[in-house]
């Protein structure tokens, strides 16, 4: 599903010009400008995932998912299991946020992932993914794993490449990292 470096976009004023990664994550914004932004990036050949939990004016229910589908998003990011289930049942690729804050959070997250047939996760913070990706794949062998959060240099990306399928970063200087 997701591979390589992903541009995580917090600013709604960012345009696709000069963004090297082929996939972008919209992590901020409002319902009013979302359709225009999706069109702009899609017309530039980008794959667009939207974090439904961070879009003001939008909910993670069936109507919200159907709206995102109707404006052409390629996938959804959410930290909510219910939203994940609604989105996948609507046929949209969905990335479930997995917060690896401590061993208990990892155990609970792993239980949730394995019991709900989750196919793609985003592990935060990113470097935790290097520690737990193999454990997760022991339970869900073909899961797509994206590492995100607090990625600050190329050395970290090189280490993460050994463990995950993709790295999401808001750091523009890392967007040209080779995968």
Helix ranges (DSSP H) in the chain: 31-42, 62-70, 81-89, 103-115, 126-139, 154-161
CA 157 to chain centre: 16
* Tokens of residue 40, six digits: 């702009």
pTM for the predicted model, two decimal places: 0.94
Model confidence at 1, pLDDT cuts 50, 70, 90, reads confident
Q: How many whole angstroms separate alpha carbon 25 and alpha carbon 50?
A: 6
Domains of the chain: 4-174 (3.20.20.70)
Structure confidence by residue, pLDDT tens digits, 53-99: 999 999 999 999 999 999 999 999 999 999 999 999 999 999 999 99
C-alpha distances out from residue 34 to 26, 41, 42, 44, 62, Å: 9, 11, 12, 16, 17
């Amino acid at each position: 599903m997701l591979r390589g470096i992903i541009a995580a976009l917090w600013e709604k004023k960012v345009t696709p010009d000069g963004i090297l990664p082929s996939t972008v994550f919209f992590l901020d914004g409002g319902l009013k400008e979302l359709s225009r932004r999706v069109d702009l990036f899609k017309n530039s050949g980008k794959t667009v995932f939207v974090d439904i939990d961070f879009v003001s004016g939008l909910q993670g229910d069936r109507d919200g998912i159907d709206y995102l589908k109707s404006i052409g998003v390629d996938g959804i990011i959410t930290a909510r299991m219910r939203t994940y289930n609604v989105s996948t049942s609507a046929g949209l690729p969905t990335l479930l946020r997995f917060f690896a804050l401590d061993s208990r959070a990892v155990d609970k997250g792993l239980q949730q992932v394995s019991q709900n047939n989750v196919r793609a996760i985003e592990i935060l913070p990113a470097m935790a993914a290097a520690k737990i990706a193999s454990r997760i794949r022991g339970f869900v062998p073909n899961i797509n794993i994206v590492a995100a959060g607090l990625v600050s240099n190329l050395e970290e990306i090189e280490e993460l490449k050994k463990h995950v399928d993709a790295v999401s970063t808001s750091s523009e200087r890392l967007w040209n990292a080779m995968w």
